[in-house]
Amino acid sequence: MDRKKARKKATELVSQMTLEEKASQLRYDAPAIKRLGIPAYNWWNEALHGVARAGQATIFPQAIGLGATFDTELLGQIADTIATEGRAKYNAYSQEEDRDIYKGLTFWSPNVNIFRDPRWGRGHETYGEDPYLTKELGVSFVKWLQGDGKVMKAAACAKHFAVHSGPEAIRHEFDAIATPKDMEETYLPAFEALTREADVEGFMGAYNRTNGEPCCGSPSLQKILRGDWGFQGYFVSDCWAIKDFHEHHMVTSTPAESAALALNNGCDLNCGNTYLHILKAYEKGLISEDTITESAIRLFTTRYMLGLFEETEYDKIPYSEVESPAHLALSQKAAEESFVLLKNNGILPLNKEKIKTVGIVGPNADSRKALVGNYHGTASRYCTIQEGIQDYLGDDVRVLASVGCDLFRDRTEHLAFTQDRLAEAKIVAENSDIVILCVGLDETLEGEEGDTGNSYASGDKETLQLPQVQLDLMEAMAESGKPVVLCLMAGSDIDLSYAEEHFDAVMVLWYPGAEGGKAAARVLFGDVSPSGKLPVTFYNSLEELPDFTDYAMKGRTYRYMENKAQFPFGYGLTYGKVVVTDAVVSENSAADINDTNVSGKAGFESGTNTTAAPVTIQATVTNQGAIDTRDVVQVYIKNADSSLAVPNPELAAFTPVFLKAGETKTVTLSIAPKAFTVVDETGARTEDGSHFHIYVGCTQPDKRSMELAGVKPVEIEYSK
């Protein structure tokens, strides 16, 4: 992937074009230029959790579920699989001269915005609320999607640059105000890492303004992106965002002015049709030909980087790769790793030898929509939770089922009385030994404004409560007197206080992909232990949060919150009991170990600059339980000196580990130098303070996590 050579070829090709031809190539649906042998190309494609919207493809768990895995290797394998299927489909479509939308190799993924508020309907497209977790997973996704071949396997795109997380209803005119400190501390790190560490090929701007400037025409953001970070790829607007300049943001008066503002500020490609006015803007002197030429060169550089004008090593990837058995198995594995067990009084894993009848109840039990989230492809077969359990149990255990209620309407049949399936649910519970209750949301209740026919709160959630009909169903199941396992299928924080109090087990399945039912059955019945961790905070109420439109981070997410969480970021139980029994700073790291005390706390002094090299932690981890399990070792760091530091300990390293019952392993984790810095009010990142608390465990070091998990992380006192 030699960018210099690709750009040289692009420059030579673009030099042969007329002004009109160059301008035509700045649209997402770039037309063919037959006299130069250039085929049509549609830039718009999606691959958030599988190749999307172009027919059959493997559907992986939604991004928020992938975030819950805390597994960069898994994310990489998924991204490589997406690129393989994308190439397979592109090869086949190209043979048919089908160059339609969603059939190219420029995937507008991943979404590395920060899920700062649980109301945001698109939060489940992200990897969660933490910049470090988002960065690590995003970098892995981009690297593996783009590959390390002679040409890019596929081109990733970091979106939505840069400060974007709702509200959906006003995103076309909204101005997100963020301080320089919050920008550097929270909103920009993942984007910077995707540029510097993963060499992401594309960037997409957001709909809203950030600090007064529309994101798709922002000189300030472009200075950061192309100036400070050295980004050299292409920049695309969000879809129809440029027309918002004159229709909603009111920063321009005409489409020509909007096209000029975007193009002059680094937006090479228009997803939308406002760039049809480029020539008019040129005639009015608003855009120079050099600017048009530069954007065309950038776009053709990407096409050359993908090898679209030559034979490549990927041309022979066959169509049989699409939804191959290996890819479906990977989707199932990802779902199994993504499930987060929040409560278990010992009822899980279920023993099918001791159960005669299982009742499966709830609107998401047999729902395909609840499997797929949004920005999804089409599976050749969907395995719902109900079907997965039925297939798993076969003829050995009787399965009874009831939808119980609609997802949010007050009846399932138009002519029926209200709560027309509630009696059936009660009957199923009465006749069952155990009830598996599947409640939650789908993309019609949380998602993107205007997407998939959304009309409910423009895609955003108005509350943390489930719809009333589901609350009524939960109450009825609690009153049944039967053991109940609640499975939540949603992409965000839902108030689970009632479930925690009344049900025997509570597990979050997110939107687990087309193989979700198979995965759920294996986890519920103990073939595999749950091991996911919450990538977002589950709050007790919205009242403790700032206003949705307030982009200041104070009081938001686990890093800044002041109250106790209902379920904290980084929390999740397993069927085993994985404990970090000891943790030390390695002698190979930037620290010199001077003293270690008996309590497991270590005091360190270092004669060297601790930010000169990563700090390496060696942790001893034991599964003290009776069941083999995967778990995630997490390292949090707290600056004990600086008033500029993030208020609470923040994630600085993590690694999954698999331990058999009784097994002990030593794992090594590396804390990047950046974790020991702070950000001042001007947005400058500096070193301030010499004393740090490092916590190593399988949860955060907060009181609520320790209360729920019953385990305290090892604390290291570390000094420069």
User: Which residues are CB-contacts of 547 (< 8 A; sequence separation ≥ 6)?
Assistant: none
Cβ atoms < 10 Å from Cβ of 42 = 17
Q: Where are the beta strands (DSSP E) in 133-188?
A: 157-161, 175-176
Residues 651, 671: Cα–Cα separation, whole Å = 10
Instruction: Provide the 10 A C-beta neighbour count for residue 173.
Output: 14
Whether 238 is catalytic is: yes
Q: Residue 462's CB: how many other CB atoms inside 10 A?
A: 11
Q: Which amino acid is at 504?
A: D
Query: What is the CA angle 39-42-44, rounded to 5?
Result: 160
20: CB partners within 8 A, 6+ apart: 279
Q: At what angle do helices 516-524 and 385-393 cross, to 10 degrees?
A: 50
How many Cα atoms are found within 13 Å in the side-chain-facing hemisphere of 250?
Answer: 3
Q: Which amino acid is at 199?
A: D
Peptide bond into 167 cis (omega under 30): yes
Pick the catalytic residue: 238, 472, 504, 631?
238
Q: DSSP letter string over 16-28?
A: TS-HHHHHHTTBS
**Is-contact 566 495, C-beta < 8 A?**
yes
Contact 681, 179 (CB under 8 A): yes
- Which of 598, 626, 618, 631 is CA-nearest to residue 696? 618
Nearest CA among 182, 179, 337, 318 for reference residue 658: 337
Rounded-to-integer distance, Cα 625 and Cα 662, Å: 7
Termini Cα distance of the chain: 41
**Short-list 159, 158, 152, CA closest to 314:** 152
Element (H, E) at 502: helix 497-502
In the structure encoding, which two tokens stand for residue 274, read together? 């406002």
DSSP string, 628-672: -EEEEEEEEEEESS-TTS-SS-EEEEEEEEEE-TT-EEEEEEEE-
The catalytic residue positions are: 238
